[in-house]
Amino acid sequence: MTNKLKLSRIGILGRPTLPMHKLHQLNFANRYAHLPEHFYSRVNPTPLPAPYLVSFNTHAARLIDLDSDEARRADFAEHFGGNRLPPDVEPLAMLYAGHQFGQFVPQLGDGRAILLGELTNRAGEHWEVQLKGSGVTPYSRRGDGRAVLRSSIREYLCSEAMHALGIPTSRALCIVGSDEPVYRETAETAAVLTRLAPSHVRFGSFEVFFYRGQYEHIAALADFVIARHYPEFSEASDKYRLFLKEITSRTAKLMAHWQTVGFCHGVMNTDNMSILGLTLDYGPFGFMESYDPGYICNHSDPQGRYAYDQQPQVGLWNLSCLAQALSRLVSEADTDKILESYAPAYYQHYVALMGAKLGLLNPTLEDFPLIDGWLTLLQKNQLDYTNSFRNLDNFDSAASADNHALRDQFIDREAFDAWAESYRARLGRESGTDSERKARMDAVNPKYILRNYLAQVAIEKAENQRDFSEIDRLLALLNKPYDEQPEMEDYAAPPPESARRIMVSCSS
Ligand code: AMP
Ligand code: MG
């Protein structure tokens, strides 16, 4: 009967899997540490007193082929609290500058983050491993080098939520806590977040050398980033132009993602802008709840420089800072052309993403009035951004349908009727059934987002009771943002009145 053994039978048995790595098998390299020392300072993490594990993310562990059982080791927190370093690591803090709220600050750098090095997984992907909150560095200025548990929980949950929403972002492996007091507006406790990203290089990593007039370092860093992350440009005679063009297009796409999911970053300084187009450095971010284009999530930004509706143009402004730093490498004419391509690229992504949220198969720029009309309705009726898109999946496109369940959510029902008429007409120009459209819409309109009040519950339980279960519950929930999770229905609710418009402090 051996001739009946077919290769396809493997499908039932599953693929053979290789065992994951134990901690001591993680093989750290650090190519950044092999750049000349103008780019960083070598520094060891400061040990975290009596560290304990707060949360461990098995999804991120897979990125570095780490066996999740390792999180149960008694000494795990020592390793990721920065107390025990793997052999041969070359820890460092990266140097950068940045435009902060429009002002150039010539000397910043990782003031509380330490890059341990990078791990290469079996798929050949490189992941830099950074400990955030791991003590002072030469760039700490007057800071204490620490991060508080509250902000570490927020970054941990949000970066994983963004990833599950399909938005490029740094990832988060674990949080290690300590009872060491850290003073912000009040006394809090310290935590170290282990962050993973292919690169933590920022726009400001280039700007620092432009203002020092050290143009050779700009070229060296650009060569390093291109070789590692944009190898397809390495051999081109115009590699720096291609690099600027690519980061411009990635940033335009990232901004379209943020806008369409209602994410507000809060501190879009150029030192927080990733050279790979990732969402980076989560601070006082917020997901918009009732739709308000002027939404400000950061209470240290009363002018609203980084308000929700400013983000796309700030993305361009930040790119112009990067372009200035690269001005010896890319001609002015090329730079102008690249920066001019930002707005069309942004709108193209925006319309594709927003059109998909409305269930359109072939959205075009001509659908702008339909999209805007919907957003205006949400704003005037102060409706929840996320839930309104999700509920629209039930829209009945039949001419006779009055869509009363949807309609009843609007104070101005006539305005809803008028918009519904144009939506119905637009849907009529597409093929497919309402149920097909519903399935498409449910796959792109999240049911669950990281609402501030949900994060706050997890934070308070962790701070007051040392109960970390809510963090894990939210992590699991937000990992499947599009799925109906009936037992978690309450987590889709808009915030209670008392928790509306939480603004988050910049001090983290
Ligand atoms: P952020 O606004 O969090 O991106 O931080 C801006 C700069 O301040 C970065 O260079 C940080 O590394 C640094 N920084 C923020 N908080 C601290 C802290 N507690 N200790 C030292 N440096 C910090
Ligand atoms: Mg930062």
HEC sequence for 451-487? CHHHHHHHHHHHHHHCCCHHHHHHHHHHCCCCCCCHH
Q: Do 229 and 264 lie in a common domain?
A: yes
pLDDT at 502: 62
Active-site residue, selected from the candidate residues 65, 110, 271, 384: 271
Q: Same domain for 365 and 423?
A: yes
Ligand 1 within 6 A of 111 CB?
yes
Say how many Å lie between the CA of residue 97 and the centre of ligand 2: 10
The sign of the dihedral angle between the CA atoms of 4, 8, 10, 13 is negative
Residue with CA at minimum distance from ligand 1 atom 13? 111
pLDDT of residue 501: 59
State which residues have CB under 5 angstroms from ligand 2, the bound ion. Answer: 272, 281
Other Cβ atoms closer than 10 A to 314 = 19
Q: Tell me which residue has its CA closest to atom 22 in ligand 1.
A: 111
**pLDDT at 10 (0 to 100):** 55
Does residue 488 sit within a domain? no
Beta bridge partners, 181, equal 189
Pocket lining: 272 vs ligand 1, CB cutoff 6 Å: yes
The protein residue with its alpha carbon nearest to ligand 1, atom 11, reads: 111
Which of the listed residues 352, 386, 421 is the one where a domain comes to its end?
352
115, 136, 271: residue to mutate for ligand 1 pocket, most atoms within 8 A of CB: 271
pLDDT at 17: 77
- List b or e across 405-430, with b for residues whose CB sees 16 or more CB atoms inside 10 angstroms: ebeebbeeeeebeebbeebbebbeee
DSSP 102: T
Is there a domain that residue 122 lies in?
no
Q: Could you tell me if the CB of 145 is within 6 A of ligand 1? A: yes
Could you tell me the mean pLDDT of each successive run of 10 residues in the chain, 508 residues long? 53 74 95 95 98 98 98 97 94 98 97 98 96 98 97 98 98 98 97 98 98 98 98 98 98 98 98 98 97 96 97 98 98 98 98 98 97 98 97 97 95 97 97 97 98 97 98 98 98 87 69
Residue 45 counted as domain residue: no
Contact by Cβ (8 Å): 450, 478: yes
Does 348 share its domain with 263?
A: yes
Domain count along the chain: 2
Residues 313, 396 within the same domain: no
Nearest ligand, measured from the Cα of 46: 1
Mutation pick for ligand 1 pocket among 139, 148, 208 (CB with most ligand atoms within 8 Å): 139
Within this chain, do residues 233 and 299 fall inside the same structural domain, yes or no?
A: yes
Q: Is there a domain that residue 274 lies in?
A: yes
Same domain, 306 and 375: no
Tell me whether residue 271 is one of the annotated catalytic residues.
yes
pLDDT value of position 105: 97
Q: What's the gap in Å between 434 CA and the centre of ligand 2?
A: 45
Which is the closest atom of ligand 1 to the Cα of 110? 12
Say how many residues make up the chain: 508
What pLDDT, on a 0 to 100 scale, did the predictor assign at position 1?
44
281 lines ligand 1 (CB under 6 A): yes
Assigned domain for 231 exists: yes
- Boundary residue ending a domain (352, 386, 416): 352
E strand or H helix at 281, and its extent?
Answer: none
Same domain, 348 and 370: no
Tokens of 263: 């994410």
Q: How far is the CA of 40 from the centre of ligand 1 (A)?
A: 15
Q: How far is CA 168 from the centre of its chain?
A: 6
Pocket test for ligand 1, best of 95, 141, 189, 207 (most atoms within 8 A of CB): 141
The answer to whether 258 and 168 are in contact (CB under 8 A) is: no
Among the bound ligands, the one closest to the CA of 148: 1
Residues 341 and 369 in one domain: no
Q: Do 230 and 304 sit in the same domain of this protein? A: yes
Ligand 1 near 140 CB (within 6 A):
yes
pLDDT at 508: 83
285 in a structural domain = yes
Domain that holds residue 319: 225-352
423 lies in some domain: yes
Domain end (from 403, 420, 442): 442
Same domain, 281 and 229: yes
CA–CA distance, 288 with 259 (Å, rounded to integer): 10
Ligand nearest to the CA of 272: 2
CA-closest residue to ligand 1 atom 16: 143
How many helices (DSSP H) and strands (DSSP E) are in the chain?
Answer: 17, 12
Do 493 and 449 touch, CB atoms closer than 8 A? Answer: no
Task: Kindly state if the Cβ of 266 falls inside 6 Å of ligand 1.
Answer: no
The confidence score (pLDDT) of residue 507 equals: 78
Say yes or no: 337 and 372 in one domain.
no
Residue of the CA atom closest to atom 2 of ligand 1: 267
Amino acid at 208: V
User: What is the CA(113)–ligand 1 centre distance, in A?
Assistant: 9
Question: How far is ligand 2, taken at its centre, from the CA of residue 271, in Å?
Answer: 6
**178 in any annotated domain:** no
